[in-house]
Amino acid sequence: MTKKIVKVKVPATTANLGAGFDTFGLALTLYNEFEVEEADGVFIESYPENKFLKNPENNLFIKVVKYLCEAEGKKFHGAKLKQTVNIPVARGLGSSATAIVAGILTGFAVHKKPLTDEEFFKVAYLFEPHPDNLLPAWKGGFITALKTEDKTYYSKIDFPQELKAVVVIPDFELSTELARSVLPKEIPLKDAVFNIQRASLFIRALQEKRFDLLKVAMEDRLHQPYRKSLIPNFDKVIQYAYDSGAVGASLSGAGSTMLALALDDFDKIGQAMVSAFSEAGINAKYLVLDVDTEGAKVEIVEK
């Protein structure tokens, strides 16, 4: 009897980009890969070895696939999953969104159901309520999104190819849950205005390739001022990025990764940001990434 293997590749995402808190997300050329087949029992191999993700209780991909199987009225017997994890967990690079997107694409492929936006969000939001990660992970590119009670509205906006993302990943995890718990419930009107002005300018700066506007357009008063207490030398990392030639800089998602946007001097910027972390006694590494424009890819192989 032939066996079906489903292979899914999903890009990392950097959400917020400063002022676009819970709104903007950008897919990057760093990928998690999931290869799964039906099995009796759950077996997870994770490369590189990751004990935490090998536990089905922690593995969002398995949870989503199980949920979709049961939603079809079928009993979930298990799955054999081989997972290549290039995106570090709990670092603000949308690792959890890759697992959710991969789980949804797998479930819909296996059950031969067409995947509409409505179906996607109905499942995805049970596991994570952030369209700013989920959408670019699924569709690729730069996306601005908003979620109401019953609908998600979004638009993909061209992101200039010449801009690269320098992501600086410190050697400590920061769960999205913790990074959200430090945010205030309410913010002053002037801070809301501050962010609307900058987020709007960010979009126009991209469309007109006015890279000189990105520095001011990526300033933020909604989340970074509260989250920076969780990131040693936050201000210095941003400062060193600009001193070395970045055109924009911010926290990546909920952190702990920091993001710089740049047109050149990528290594210089990465090294400078890493050195700002090391001045606080934190090891970090940097990656220079392009924008992924295509999003998640799914392939079914008969064995």
Ligand X SMILES: Nc1ncnc2c1ncn2[C@@H]1O[C@H](COP(=O)(O)OP(=O)(O)O)[C@@H](O)[C@H]1O
- Which residue in the set 8, 9, 11, 16 belongs to the binding site for ligand LJ64HWYM (CB under 6 A)? 16
Q: Which of 276, 278, 230, 274 is nearest to 253 (CA)?
A: 230
Q: Residue 88, preceding bond cis, omega within 30 degrees?
A: no
133 is a site residue for ligand LJ64HWYM (CB under 6 A): yes
Name which of 93 and 110 has its Cβ closer to ligand X: 93
Q: Is residue 259 helix, strand or coil? A: strand
Stretch that binds ligand LJ64HWYM, among 45-53, 176-184, 277-285, 288-296 (CB under 6 A): 176-184
Name which of 50 and 275 has its Cβ closer to ligand X: 50
- d(Cα 85, Cα 45) in Å, to the nearest integer? 10
First to last CA, the chain: 9
Compute the least distance from the CB of residue 218 to ligand LJ64HWYM, in Å. 14
Q: Which residue is nearest to ligand LJ64HWYM (CB)?
A: 253
Residue 160 CA from chain centroid, whole number: 19
- d(Cα 15, Cα 27) in Å, to the nearest integer? 9
167 is a site residue for ligand LJ64HWYM (CB under 6 A): no
- d(Cα 5, Cα 293) in Å, to the nearest integer? 25
Q: By CB under 6 A, how many residues form the interface with ligand LJ64HWYM?
A: 16
259 is a site residue for ligand LJ64HWYM (CB under 6 A): no
Compute the least distance from the CB of residue 122 to ligand LJ64HWYM, in Å. 20
Q: Exposed e or buried b for every residue in 119-147, given b needs 16+ CB within 10 A?
A: ebbebbeebbebbbbbbbbbbbbbbbbeb
Q: Residue 48, preceding bond cis, omega within 30 degrees?
A: yes
Is residue 103 a known part of a binding site?
A: no
Is residue 89 a known part of a binding site?
A: yes
140 is a site residue for ligand LJ64HWYM (CB under 6 A): no
Q: Is residue 75 helix, strand or coil? A: coil
Q: Which of 255, 286, 13 is nearest to 168 (CA)?
A: 286
Compute the least distance from the CB of residue 8 to ligand X, in Å. 11
Is residue 90 a known part of a binding site?
A: yes
What are the residues binding ligand X (CB under 6 A)?
A: 32, 53, 58-61, 85, 89-99, 175-176, 253-254
Whether 204 and 216 have beta carbons less than 8 Å apart is answered as no
Tokens 């593995």: give the residue.
59
Name which of 205 and 259 has its Cβ closer to ligand X: 259
Whether 67 and 79 have beta carbons less than 8 Å apart is answered as no
Is residue 152 a known part of a binding site?
A: no
- Which residue in the set 132, 219, 220, 292 belongs to the binding site for ligand LJ64HWYM (CB under 6 A)? 132
136 is a site residue for ligand LJ64HWYM (CB under 6 A): no
Which residues of the shown chain bind ligand LJ64HWYM in the complex (CB under 6 A)?
A: 15-16, 22, 92-94, 96, 130, 132-133, 176, 179-180, 223, 253-254
Please give the annotated binding residues for ATP, written as ranges. 88-98
